[in-house]
Amino acid sequence: MRDGAGQYRHNHHWTTASRRRQDQKIEPYRSALLLTHPHPLAEDSPSDFVWGARDRDGGYGGQNLLGLALMRVRDELVADVGTRVAALAPGR
C-alpha cells in the first residue's frame, strides 16, 4: 500500500497521462486548453485540497494537482504547435 504522498504522486502522473490522451483526441478541448496559454490553471474546488487549489481555510494553498496536470499537457501541446509551425517555414 502506498503512503499518502506516494499515492498522490501516482495519481498525478496517471491524471497527466489520461489528460494527454484525451486532449490529443478531442480537438475542441485541445483548442480551448491552448487558448489558456500562458495563464495558470487552477481547480477551484472548495473541498478537494489535493486536486484543487484551495486549502482548508478557503485560501489558495491547495496542491492543485489537476491544474498542474492540465498545464503540463498544455505545455506539450504548445511545443507541438511550435514544432508544426517551424516545419512549415520557408526554406525547410
| pTM recorded for the entire structure | 0.68
38: which 3 cell numbers?
Answer: 500562458
Binning pLDDT at 50, 70 and 90, where does residue 9 land? low
Distances 65 to 44, 83, 87 between C-alpha atoms, Å: 11, 27, 33
Can you give the residue ranges of every domain in the chain? 4-40+66-88
Helix pair angle (27-35, 4-25), 10° resolution: 110
**Segment 30-47, tens digit of pLDDT:** 889 999 999 999 999 999
Mean per-residue pLDDT over the chain, rounded: 83
Question: What local confidence, expressed as pLDDT, does residue 87 receive?
Answer: 84
DSSP string, 37-64: TTS------SS-TTTSS--TTSSS-S--
Contact (Cβ atoms closer than 8 angstroms) between residue 44 and residue 54 = yes
Decide if pLDDT at 2 tops 50: no
